[in-house]
Chain A
């Protein structure tokens, strides 16, 4: 291999990776959003609330702590864009859909678990976000972001 070939590979490889990550990442995100919207539509009649004072006419039979979580990571292309954005500051648009869909996924998992176990509602829902440390320790890359949703599932005898 001549020097030019090596230089060409050095230039094209990250570029190819960038294009590959962009296409596949965008596809995964679109598919995930379609999935989230479909599942949310199916659970619309299930009460999930962030307060703990229940309506007076609800008669609670039993309760259970339920949770749902997901660890999600950004694709390479969007990470590069976010890195560039960090140089000038401002709104980091590429991160917004990531956090949004992770949070909705966590809530959906919690609700689906509660429904599968015969509960009728979830009260006092709390959401938490934490960033997992990466093992490289150089601050580059990411090990992902965890979204946790938890609440008290209620089984009602009357409502």
Chain B
């Protein structure tokens, strides 16, 4: 997760070393993903011996990145240059599908 196109992300209440001059309100981004069949079969085999399910780790990371991107896009359209107090949430909404959700507060810092 980089500082996407000039938008600073932080999960602290302020951006350390900077001062918040304006608040724009809550910004959110989400994505719903279902599991890939091929990955599911591999994960099924891996379930026998335990350990990391690499395919799922990557899948969730990509999805979380996308949710974050959408959040950043919303912040940018509001005129914010930073999103503070970012939180992540994951919820299983249906069989084999999960929602990944990112939210924070869009602010202007200087």
Contact = CB atoms under 8 A, between A and B. Distances in A.
Interface of A: 17, 20-21, 24-25, 28-29, 32, 52, 54, 58-67, 69-76, 78, 98, 105, 123-124, 126, 128, 130-137, 141-144, 146, 148, 150-152, 154
A144 B43 contact: yes
Contacts of B12: 52, 63, 123-124, 152
A72 B47 CA distance: 9
B26 to A, nearest CB: 17
B21 interface: no
B51 A73 contact: yes
Interface in B43-98: 43-44, 46-54, 56-57, 60-61, 64, 68, 86-92, 94-98
B11 A133 contact: no
Given A67-B1, A71-B54, 17 more contacts: A21-B50, A64-B2, A69-B61, A70-B57, A71-B53, A71-B57, A73-B53, A74-B50, A75-B51, A128-B88, A130-B92, A130-B98, A134-B96, A135-B95, A141-B44, A143-B96, A146-B57
Interface of B: 1-3, 8-13, 15-17, 35, 40, 43-44, 46-54, 56-57, 60-61, 64, 68, 86-92, 94-98
A22 to B, nearest CB: 10
A59 B95 contact: no
A88 to B, nearest CB: 23
A65 B11 contact: yes
Contacts of B16: 54, 58, 60, 63, 123, 152, 154
B92 A25 contact: no
A54 B11 CA distance: 14
Contacts of A20: 48-49
